[in-house]
Amino acid sequence: MGKKGLGYYIVVRALMIIPTILILYTIVFILLRILPGNPILAVVGTRNIPPEQLKHLEHLAGLDKPLIVQYFDYLWNVLHGNFGVTLASPMGVPVINYIATRFPATLELAIWGFSFSVIIGLVTGMIAALRKGGKIDTGMRLYSIIAYTLFIPWFGMILQYVFGVVLGVLPTGGRIDPRINLHTITGLYVLDSILTGNIPALISSIKHLILPSLTLGIVLSGAYTRLVRNNMVDVLSMDFIRSYKARGIPGYKITWYALKNAFIPVITLMGLQFAILLGGAILTETTFSWPGMGTFIVDRIEYRDYNSIQGAIIFFAFFVAVISLIVDVIYALLDPRIKY
């Protein structure tokens, strides 16, 4: 077995993260400068300010430097773990402070949404495959197409309306009841509630999580349903399944082995989907006023807060890249046929 090659594989994959992020940063940098206005104008707004003072403020923010210098200045800072300070109200706060509170919110939403999508996808896909050609199969395939094409804000609003307004059983925005005091450790509220033994906070944070993560989860599950179903149908028709049957192996075990085989390609999809979560999270967060990275970036775009946006996106992209690297390594470890 080529297990010694795994280290090499990881190093190569890790090195590939650098150009990916560099390209992303460049694109974001250029897009932000193309947008009309700048952070100072966004804050000052329509107020009449003498041009000299405006110049002075721009100088303080480093906006009077040539673009190429701004580009490398920020890159240099990021390489040293410094994401800069906010350029617009409130000014001068380290961007990393925002990331520290916003990122766990997004992560928590992503973990829940992701889990929902995988579980829903696996169950629906498996049932469809086991009932191949029947009504249930047709229903599940229809589900996958509908889920796949659902638009997050639209679907989120329906859920908000049904469960929040009509039934009134679930909150439609925020992460937790603001009256509850939760001592944060990791920033993942459910986990923190458990760690601090705070039952009201646990209930409240789970309630707040259900609708947004279900929205994200259902929309992302369509792809899994399809993939799991098709893989499972393929695997179930394979010779080794017939061989298992011919050995008197119980049916539930055979289903499990089939699922394992059908799951291998799903892991690749999971890596890809985690990247899609970035887009999904932004839409979900704005729909559910979820105080995560998505709403943070959207808020900051109005202020043209270059540093905040660049910092948040680089941080998020780095995280997504590391996750997809981990997923690929898991994939390689699970499938004995993979050679590095």
Partner 1 sequence: MSGNLLEIKDLVVKYYTLSGIVRAVDHVSLSIRPGEWLSVVGESGCGKSTMAYSIVRLISPPGRIVGGQILFNGRDLLSMKPKEFRKILGREIGVVFQDPMTSLDPLRRIGDQIAEVYITHLGMKKKEALEKAGEVLERVGIPRDKINAYPHQMSGGQRQRVAIAIAVALKPKLLIADEPTTALDVIVQDTIMDLLESFKEEGTSILFITHDLALAAERSDRIAVMYAGKLVEEGPVEEIVENTLHPYTQGLLRSVPDLWGPKKIESIPGYPPDLRSPPPGCRFHPRCKIADDTCRRQEPVLNCVGEHCIACHKAGELLKR
Amino acid at 42: A
Nearer to partner 1, 9 or 257 (CB): 257
CB of 1 vs partner 1, minimal distance in Å: 8
Identify which range of 64-72, 91-99, 111-119, 331-339 contacts partner 1 by CB under 8 A: 331-339
| Whether the bond into 291 is cis, omega within 30 of 0 | no
Mask: binding to partner 1, 228-257, rule CB under 8 A, as x and -?
Answer: ----------xxx-xxxxxxxxx------x
CB of 250 vs partner 1, minimal distance in Å: 7
Asked if residue 179 binds partner 1 (CB under 8 A), the reply is: no
214 backbone φψ class: left, alpha, beta (φ>0; ψ -120 to 50): alpha
Residue 151 three-state SS: coil
Nearer to partner 1, 80 or 337 (CB): 337
Nearer to partner 1, 72 or 256 (CB): 256
Asked if residue 335 binds partner 1 (CB under 8 A), the reply is: yes
Closest to 98 measured CA to CA, from 315, 322, 326, 288: 315
Mask: binding to partner 1, 256-285, rule CB under 8 A, as x and -?
Answer: -x--xx--x---------------------
C-alpha R_g of the chain: 24
Hey, CA dihedral for 56, 97, 320, 293, is it positive or negative? Answer: negative
Q: Which residues contact 10 (CB under 8 A, 6 or more apart)?
A: 325, 329
Nearer to partner 1, 37 or 250 (CB): 250
Asked if residue 55 binds partner 1 (CB under 8 A), the reply is: no
Closest to 262 measured CA to CA, from 139, 134, 147, 122: 122
List of residues contacting partner 1 (CB under 8 A): 238-240, 242-250, 257, 260-261, 264, 334-337
